[in-house]
Structure 1
Amino acid sequence: METESAAAAAMEHLPLKMRVMAAIDESDESFYALKWALDNLFSFISSTALPETGEKSDGLLTVVHVQEPNHHFGFPAAPGIQAYYPPSEVVDSVKRAQEQKSAAILKKASEMCKEKRITAKTLILDGDPKDMICQATEQIHVDLLIVGSRGLGKVKRAFLGSVSDYCAQHARCPILIVKPPKEDSKSG
């Protein structure tokens, strides 16, 4: 009974138009987080109606993917010889491949949203995913950020860093970190 009244009290404070951002990459964990949000959060948001007017509340979903910037490296040709820089055609080819990969990721996410009849905006950003996701939440005035968790242990998180950990500490909005089911995290 107490949980029902707590849930009802929490619903009173939900914004009429809740802005949600789901950050995704190519990982299964990020797509699981998006699926979880579509199945659980958005079905709840779209089913709630305001008691006074009967008007449905609505959520706005933005799916964001951050692609790391292309670094133009020089490679040493041999001892004593100047560095070799890849031709601009190679750099352009790498950039096009990265853009195609980002478009494919967002297309898959958009299809998931369409299956659930949820309209979503997509956004591709360039830069460090940790910083860009947090900046985007501020610029779009997000009410909730959703990210997946790869289930890294403490040591791996310390060395590799974790986007979800960083966002939990630096995002200026509530963040929902969706962990994959145990059977999925053991097999991957």
Structure 2
Amino acid sequence: MNRSELVVVGVDGSPPSVAALTWAAREAESLDAPLRAVLVHPEDGREATRQGAERLSRATAALPPEVLTARVSHVVLAGRPAVELVEQARSARLLVLGGHPQRRWTTSVTAHCLREAACPVAVVPPQPEPATATTSAVESPAAPSTPPVQDTAVSAVMSRFVLAVRPDTPLPDALRLMASCAVRHLPVVDEGVCTGLLSEADALWRLTADRSLSGPTATAAQVAQRPLPHVPANSTLGQAASQMRDTDGDGLLVTDGDQVVGILTTADVLALLAHPPAGSAEPGPSTRRRNATRRRTLVVGVDDSPCGLAALRWTLHHAERTGAQVRVVSVCPVSPVLPSSVPLPVTSTDNALDERHHTVLASAVEQAGDVARRVSPDQVVAHGEPGPVLCALAEDAAMLVVGSHGHGRVMSALLGSTSDYSVRHAHCPVVVVPPSASV
């Protein structure tokens, strides 16, 4: 067996580890690679090993039927989980771990593997636990009734990451950004203040109604909707829907005081109506409507460090083997943004700092070699804090990839804090690539 093609996943029987196992199995299947499921128990002895083997067998037996299990091997070991997992994955292509249910925490096992593993480490976010139905009204008390959809809080349904553009952003560039990032609305920000909302519908209507806007000098500000359509985060969907109807729009910015905290669209509301929550489970945000895109796009953050280049090369080779698209992002962390640190993608090349980041992108793609020309990745320069910006651009992605350390000369944009933030907050699996990783 060529261990460089091996995918290793840590399993302990918990729901997060089962979610990681399922994701790892699908990833191994797409790579046509063998999968090794590893369970490490702290107690030595025959009985502990037997129980561990049973837990591991139950977990792999529950894999979805569309995932082939013929190439899944089981390893049960006694020892320290973090140490043994790193050793098992020493020459693997990928080590997969489940994320902590409390996203603000990173387990000691995950932290150790991210720090010590020689191969890339994927951390799969935990999945919401399905509501369990009671077998009879006599056996258990009736569950509280689910509130009507119109009484659901806007904050439970909105998309929490919002991209934005400056007023002078050329309209064609703003529209290309919307297309490449799979978003239908872009706030327009001037000196840190949101002054309008650009939507696909507004852009199409204005472009057909006013021919002057189809030229290269047209800007996002000329087409953006004003006054700014917004709704407080504590509003209900019923209130938000009424406001959309009254303003004849299909999107609302969501505010908390003077901060923009998200965006609500008609697609979010329709997704909730089509998939109402069971019991008291929180309805999923707009990720449901983006599942198709989620399986096709890999987002990778780069700076001018060797770690950024290693992450890019790994992502491009992974995309080539799995048929995915790639979005390469360079983050400029010093720019005017909304008070809530909403990321501001940059499409203008007016200032020197933006130019440097465009140069970083072009140089990294060039250094990646022939695989970059074959995959032909999209390139995006964005303003804001690297962690939130990358998570925003990866909201619709199958995977977010970052280097384990970024000490580049331009902005040192992808530091350890960025990978840590991404592991804790991204909606998709996050792969952290060490500089020594092979492709």
Corresponding residue of 2:175: none
Per-residue deviation at 1:112? 4.3
Corresponding residue of 1:127: 384
- Partner-residue secondary structure (3-state), 1:162: helix
In 1, the alpha carbon distance for the partners of 2:416 and 2:367 equals 28
Confirm whether residue 60 of structure 1 aligns to residue 325 of structure 2. Answer: yes
- Point out where structure 2 has 5 or more consecutive residues left out of the alignment: 8-24, 31-65, 68-291, 337-349, 408-414
Confirm whether residue 42 of structure 1 aligns to residue 319 of structure 2. Answer: yes
Identical positions, percent: 29
Per-residue deviation at 1:114? 6.2
Corresponding residue of 2:298: 20
Per-residue deviation at 1:27? 1.6
AA paired with 1:104?
T
Contact 2:327 2:380 in 1 (8 A): yes
AA paired with 2:324?
G
Per-residue deviation at 1:69? 2.0
* CA distances 1:3-44 after superposition (whole Å, capped 9, x unpaired): 79x57874366x7962100111122111111112223x1342
Aligned positions of 1:135-154 closer than 5 A: 135-138=392-395, 141-150=396-405
Q: Aligned residues, how many? A: 134
Indicate how the Cα distance of structure 1 residues 151 and 115 shifts in structure 2: closer, same or farther if over 3 A, else same.
closer
TM-score (norm 2): 0.27
Aligned positions of 1:112-123 closer than 5 A: 112=367, 115-116=370-371, 117-123=374-380
TM-score (norm 1): 0.60
AA paired with 1:106?
L
In 2, the alpha carbon distance for the partners of 1:8 and 1:175 equals 13
- Partner-residue secondary structure (3-state), 2:304: coil
Contact 1:113 1:120 in 2 (8 A): no
In 1, the alpha carbon distance for the partners of 2:399 and 2:386 equals 17
Confirm whether residue 172 of structure 1 aligns to residue 437 of structure 2. Answer: no
Corresponding residue of 1:104: 359
* CA distances 1:64-99 after superposition (whole Å, capped 9, x unpaired): 11101247xxxxxxxxxxxxxxxxxxxxxxx72211
Contact 1:20 1:145 in 2 (8 A): yes
Per-residue deviation at 1:59? 1.1
Contact 1:149 1:164 in 2 (8 A): yes
In 2, the alpha carbon distance for the partners of 1:32 and 1:150 equals 11
Indicate how the Cα distance of structure 1 residues 181 and 8 shifts in structure 2: closer, same or farther if over 3 A, else same.
closer
In 2, the alpha carbon distance for the partners of 1:161 and 1:22 equals 15
In 2, the alpha carbon distance for the partners of 1:8 and 1:177 equals 16
The RMSD of aligned alpha carbons is 3.2
Contact 2:319 2:325 in 1 (8 A): no
Corresponding residue of 2:334: 69
In 2, the alpha carbon distance for the partners of 1:70 and 1:161 equals 21
Contact 1:63 1:109 in 2 (8 A): no
Higher relative contact order (CA 8 A, sep 6+): 1
In 1, the alpha carbon distance for the partners of 2:352 and 2:404 equals 26
